[in-house]
Structures are given as structure tokens and as C-alpha cells.
Structure 1
Amino acid sequence: MKYRATLLLVVVLLIPTIGSANDLGACQKIFALSQSALSNKAKGVSKEKLVSALPPKQSGNEPEPLRSMREIVGEVYSYQIINQFAYSVYRTELCVLREAGQAPSVEFEKILSELNSCSVEDPECAMQLAGSKL
């Protein structure tokens, strides 16, 4: 039952952002969504359960928050993310950059070690790894 409530939280946070995907504010929820995915993994919730809580995959380009959520679930379950704060900042910044049409192509596995080394006191480290030019 508690897993179902967490999955519901993911869907409740995500669905309102899909309709307004052109609004940069839609990326504000990505931080919480990434934290939720990390928490669910730590609690033993399967990747399949999280994926099944998402709306069916759309053909063509999906709205950015939904695209980010699918990627987050994949990354969280494929890699050992030690610095959860830096990861959530990174994913949020990547979403914002994509929405603005300014995101460079970033291969997650190539920046993971550096991301895990970012300081919690320095969110700019994660933002730069996403491609921000601060």
C-alpha cells in the first residue's frame, strides 16, 4: 500500500506538468520526481512499477517533463547514484536547458563520477555538468 501511495505521488506530480510542457516552470517538479525515484529504488520498488505508473509512451516527441521522468527512472535503476542532491539538481537543470533549446548532448555515464563528487553546498557543479554555462 505504501508503494502505491509513492507511485501515485509520482503520477500526481508529473501529470499536471505534461499539459504545460512549454512552460519552463514545468521543470520545477523534476527535482522532486528524481528524489522520489531514488527513494523508491532504496525502498525496493521495482523499475517496472515506476514505469507502469507513467502514462503510455507517446510516438514522436514527448513533453519534456515526461521525457525526463522516463530517463530518470532508467538512470536511477542502471547506475549507482551516490550524490542524490547533485543528481536532482542535474536533472532539473537539464530539463530547463532542453525546454530553452540549449541543452548539449550529455552522456550520463561519462559525467556520473564527477556528479557524485559534487558538493551538496555547490549546486552549480551539477548545473555545469548538465551543460549550463554559469
Structure 2
Amino acid sequence: MSRRAFLGEGQQHISGPGGIMFRDSLLAMAVALFCLSTTAVCQEAATQAPGWDPSEFQLDKDGPCSFELGAASSLIKIRDSGQSREKVISTLPPRGQSDSNPSVSTMYSVLDDIYGNPTVARFPYFAYRNITCMRRHMGKPIPPNFSSVAPQVMACQSKFGMEASDHLISCIQAAVEGKAP
């Protein structure tokens, strides 16, 4: 399928990280969502996306988890700003592209997690993603998906709050490791 056919005649488009093509009215947000580099396109998109602060989390932009953590943080901000799941999906490549592009798969995984669990707060979910990503890259076992540990993560959030703290992080780590939080 050509880019023109995929995007639709006359629609704006931009190639993002990993060659992902973004389209439609949420273009600036979609690009800011998944860009953690300092390119001019990402900086411009970041200034246009409400509430997006790329320096909020000090991430290693070349680290193995930077894309996943940026997507997690940004998609929760977008969800919390009232954007519908359908509107966000309309800006993404088709789900079928996830087979050949891990970045697309990550975006849909995060999207499913946070819209499927609308009460999970930004930092607890970010911590879950950080812990699971690091464990995956170290070859350690991780839960099959967020839904399998969502009740435990939500219990941690209820007990220790939504803001970053050592207790909250330890609790979420215990949940990821299969221990009682």
C-alpha cells in the first residue's frame, strides 16, 4: 500500500521514530508522544501537544526503554486530558503493522493498558513499565501483560498514592515479581 493510500489523499503525514507514519488531527500529539530525541520536528510537536513536557522524566534517549516509557507517560497525559481511545487510535498506524514494527506494538500495548484501566495513575503505570522493561532486557521474568498485575498495582497506588516514592516503587516491583505487595 502506498503512503498516499494509507494516509488518504491530501492528509498531513510525517514519518516518526522507526518509520512509523502518523496522520490526521492529532498529528502533533502523536509525534510528541513517541519522540524523545531532540530533533526539530519533535521539539515543534512537543510544543504543540498540551501538557507534554519531554524533560519531565530524565530518560536516556538511547536507552532500551526510552520509547516505551515516553509512550506510557504521554498516553496517560492524553487519556487524562479527555481524549478518547478512538481518537488516539485514529492517529496511529493500523494495528496490523505491529507484527513488523515493535514500536507500533508497544504503542498499542500501552494504549490497551491505560484505556483498559482508566484509574491507573501516571506514575504507577510509568513505574510498572520501567520495571518490566528493565527486567525484560535483563532476561528476568515479567508478567504476561498489565491486566495480570493491574489489581496489585492499583492496590499499591491506593496504599502509597500516585506520586513517586520508594514505597510505591517497591510495592509495584513486588507485584511485577509475583510477590504480595
TM-score class, shorter = 0.5 to 0.7
Match of 1:126 in 2: 172
Aligned partner letter, 1:85: F
| TM-score, L = length of structure 1 | 0.68
Structure 1 segments, 4+ long, off by >6 Å, are: none
Q: Which residue of the other structure, out of 29, 33, 54, is the alignment partner of 1:6? A: 29
Q: In the superposition, relative to structure 1, how do residues 26 and 59 fare at CA in structure 2: closer, same or farther (>3 Å)?
A: same
Aligned: 1:81 with 2:112? no
Aligned partner letter, 1:9: A
Q: Please list, as runs of the form range in 1=range in 2, the aligned pairs for 1:55-70 lying within 5 A after superposition.
A: 55=93, 57-59=97-99, 62-63=101-102, 66-70=104-108
Q: Any conservation in 2 of the 1:31–1:88 contact (CA below 8 Å)?
A: yes
Q: Which residue of the other structure, out of 99, 113, 119, is the alignment partner of 2:151? A: 113
Aligned partner letter, 1:114: Q
Match of 2:131 in 1: 93
The Cα RMSD (Å) is 3.2
Q: CA deviation at 1:132?
A: 8.2
Higher relative contact order (CA 8 A, sep 6+): 1
Q: In the superposition, relative to structure 1, how do residues 132 and 69 fare at CA in structure 2: closer, same or farther (>3 Å)?
A: farther
Larger CA Rg, structure 1 vs 2: 2
Aligned partner letter, 1:127: Q
Q: In the superposition, relative to structure 1, how do residues 107 and 132 fare at CA in structure 2: closer, same or farther (>3 Å)?
A: same
List alignment gaps of at least 5 residues for structure 1: 15-23
List alignment gaps of at least 5 residues for structure 2: 1-24, 38-61
Aligned partner letter, 2:171: C
Match of 1:21 in 2: none
Q: In the superposition, relative to structure 1, how do residues 101 and 70 fare at CA in structure 2: closer, same or farther (>3 Å)?
A: farther
Q: CA deviation at 1:34?
A: 1.1
* Aligned positions, number: 122
Match of 1:18 in 2: none
Q: In the superposition, relative to structure 1, how do residues 29 and 125 fare at CA in structure 2: closer, same or farther (>3 Å)?
A: farther
Deviations 1:67-101 (A, max 9, x none): 33321100111123333211111012112222233
If each structure's helix is expressed as a fraction of its own residues, which one has the higher value?
Answer: 1
Structure 1 distance, partners of 2:176, 2:34, is 25
